Amino acid sequence: MSVATEDSLPVYLQIAAELRREIAEGKVKPGVRMPPARDLAAVMGVNQNTMFRALRVLRDEGLLEFRRGRGISVTGEASGLSELVARCRELVRYSSRQGYRKDELIRIIEGLR
């Protein structure tokens, strides 16, 4: 996982997105206990409070559960990847109806960075 300091998205949301992606891709499965937040913060090179804020976002989404004395565990499965693929298909269909080829759409997307 990495954080892009030049990104306009706040660091805690970048971390939450990265963890959400790992859950969606099945790299971290429901029932798995997460490392302590301080360890995750050290690995990411961020403040502990930033890491806790990211983890609370995922808790509020129902993906993580905080239990005193038992740590943080994954409780849900993110549907991010399947939803992303569905939205990409919609975008490809829409752009096609507007007269754009896939290679043109890719150039447009690459230009957004």
Q: Determine the pLDDT at residue 58.
A: 92
C-alpha to C-alpha distance for 97 and 49, rounded to whole angstroms? 46
Q: What is the pTM of this model?
A: 0.68
Residue 65 lies inside a defined structural domain of this protein: yes
Regarding whether 68 and 22 lie in a shared domain, the answer is: yes
Give the model confidence (pLDDT) of 10-63 as tens digits: 999 999 998 888 888 888 888 889 999 999 999 989 999 999 999 999 999 888
Q: In this structure, is residue 3 part of a structural domain?
A: no
Determine contact, residues 75/64, Cβ cutoff 8 Å.
Answer: yes
Q: Are residues 85 and 51 in the same domain?
A: no
**At 72, is the secondary structure helix, strand, or coil?**
strand
Residue 62 falls within a domain, yes or no?
yes
Phi, psi of 69 (to 5 degrees): 85, -10
3-state DSSP percent of the chain in helix, strand and coil, to 5: 55, 10, 35
Q: Is position 4 within any domain? A: no
Q: What is the arithmetic mean of pLDDT over 82-88?
A: 74
Question: What is the CATH number for 49?
Answer: 1.10.10.10
Q: Is residue 5 part of a domain?
A: no
Residue 29 belongs to domain spanning: 11-74
Establish if 2 belongs to a structural domain.
Answer: no
Mean pLDDT of 60-84: 80
Task: Judge whether 6 lies within some domain.
Answer: no
Share of the chain above pLDDT 70, in %: 87
Is residue 105 domain-resident? yes
For residues 18 and 36, membership in a common domain is answered with: yes
